């Protein structure tokens, strides 16, 4: 099944979990039953309140859920509210229901291919198979017809749906970063320019039903390599994202509940570096469900390859608060990130002073 998509009709869901998909309890500890909910931040609340909530979530959890109506200044016509944006993610999901022959042309195991359909994980999977198919698309900005023409043209509305989802999601991500800067005392446009000027990436992750979900992983534990991620968990209320919460000397995997009409938002490792460790980039993973398929859509705002990542001078203060990370280009950061197999502690260690 190495090059075979899980979502292809040839795969029999009732078969036992293949050995390559089995993770030991050490590799896949169960999630905690503790009811720890990520904060749900309503962006329609007063700006001061939202700014405080984002900063607190960024410091303590690195994650939050955002329910939004875009500020007037960012709205296009018609207004890009959630009721308009979220259905576009559902159109993205339809790709996985296409017949195998319509998807085959996009299959590629080449990690450098900017637009590809693949199965399993990214980087250093050590022969392990993850219970996921993924359509990964690249959106250079400004988007043009050449870039769009590289994306699948089935289902018929897919290209328009990707564009109609990604651009408002990116605008929201940039607004959240401005709010974070205000909370940190940085100039509001700190993350504009090269820090967010790379391509925008989209992962449409499809996790089919799995015969033994408690021994499988949809996505390996990883911290994010980009600046900010906005994730629509899936339709139908199926959760599957889990976040590693570490406090009081212990760590536990905590499921992220599905909140209708909200994006799950997390801050990537470049933000941890830029804030000199004030904001956390936190590990997360995805687990499949026994009965239902889940399709999530993630939008990733990334730096340019030559961008220099370093602690913001405003957050560094001589002996009291020296820089905790060395400066590094995003290209070099990505080389190390891949070699570290996306694990938070290894990535962190590589750049710490």
Ligand X SMILES: O=C(O)CCC(=O)C(=O)O
- Rounded Cα distance, 66 and 291, in Å: 28
Asked whether position 203 contacts ligand X by CB under 6 A, the answer is yes
Asked whether position 288 contacts ligand X by CB under 6 A, the answer is no
* Residue in 296, 302, 323, 340 binding ligand X, rule: CB under 6 A: 296
Asked whether position 208 contacts ligand X by CB under 6 A, the answer is no
* Residue in 116, 284, 324, 344 binding ligand X, rule: CB under 6 A: 284
Cβ closer to ligand X: 183 or 298?
298
72, 276, 61, 74: which is closest to 169 by C-alpha? 74
Contact 179, 54 (CB under 8 A): yes
* Residue carrying structure tokens 């993350």: 191
* Residue carrying structure tokens 């990535």: 347
Q: How many CB atoms lie within 10 A of CB 107?
A: 17
Cβ closer to ligand X: 79 or 236?
236
Asked whether position 241 contacts ligand X by CB under 6 A, the answer is yes
Give the footprint of ligand X on residues 139-158 (CB under 6 A): none
Residue 70 φ then ψ, to 5°: -60, 140
To the nearest whole angstrom, how small is the minimum distance from the Cβ of residue 188 to ligand X? 27
3-state secondary structure (DSSP) of residue 4: coil
Stretch that binds ligand X, among 107-115, 145-153, 158-166, 233-241 (CB under 6 A): 233-241
- Rounded Cα distance, 22 and 215, in Å: 5
Contact 155, 94 (CB under 8 A): yes
Give the footprint of ligand X on residues 8-37 (CB under 6 A): none
3-state secondary structure (DSSP) of residue 337: helix
Asked whether position 293 contacts ligand X by CB under 6 A, the answer is no
Cβ closer to ligand X: 62 or 240?
240
* Residue in 219, 223, 293, 340 binding ligand X, rule: CB under 6 A: 219
Cβ closer to ligand X: 53 or 217?
217
Angle at 198 between CA 51 and CA 228, to 5 degrees: 30
Q: Which residues bind ligand X (CB under 6 A)?
A: 203, 205, 219, 231, 233, 240-241, 284, 286, 296, 298
């Amino acid at each position: 099944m190495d090059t075979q998509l899980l979502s292809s009709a040839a795969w029999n869901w009732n078969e036992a979990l293949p050995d390559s998909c089995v993770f030991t309890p050490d590799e896949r500890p169960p999630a905690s039953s503790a009811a720890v909910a990520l904060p749900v931040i309503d962006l329609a609340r007063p700006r001061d309140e939202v700014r405080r909530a984002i900063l607190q979530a960024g410091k303590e959890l690195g994650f939050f859920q955002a329910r939004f109506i875009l500020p007037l200044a960012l709205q296009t016509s018609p207004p890009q509210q959630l009721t308009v944006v979220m259905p576009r993610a559902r159109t993205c999901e339809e790709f996985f229901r296409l017949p195998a022959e319509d998807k085959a042309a996009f299959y590629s195991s080449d990690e450098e291919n900017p637009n590809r359909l693949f199965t399993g994980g990214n980087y250093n999977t050590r022969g392990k198979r993850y219970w996921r198919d993924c359509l990964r698309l690249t959106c250079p900005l400004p988007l043009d017809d050449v870039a769009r023409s590289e994306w699948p043209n089935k289902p018929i509305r897919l290209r328009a749906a990707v564009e109609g989802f990604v651009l408002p999601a990116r605008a929201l991500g940039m607004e959240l970063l401005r709010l974070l800067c205000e909370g940190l005392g940085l100039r509001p446009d700190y993350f504009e320019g090269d820090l967010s000027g790379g391509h925008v990436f989209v992962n449409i992750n499809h996790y089919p039903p799995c015969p033994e979900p408690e021994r499988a992983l949809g996505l390996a534990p990883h911290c994010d390599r980009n600046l900010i991620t906005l994730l629509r968990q899936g339709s139908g209320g199926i959760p599957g994202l889990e976040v590693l919460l570490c406090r009081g000397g212990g760590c536990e995997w905590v499921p992220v509940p599905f909140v209708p009409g909200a994006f799950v938002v997390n801050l990537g490792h470049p933000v941890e570096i830029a804030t000199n460790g004030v904001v956390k980039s936190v590990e997360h993973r995805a687990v499949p469900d026994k009965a239902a398929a889940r399709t999530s859509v993630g939008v990733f705002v990334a730096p340019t390859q030559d961008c220099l990542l370093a602690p913001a001078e405003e957050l560094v203060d001589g002996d009291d608060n020296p820089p905790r990370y060395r400066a590094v280009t995003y290209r070099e950061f990505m080389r190390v990130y891949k070699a570290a197999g996306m694990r938070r502690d290894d990535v962190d260690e590589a750049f710490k002073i």
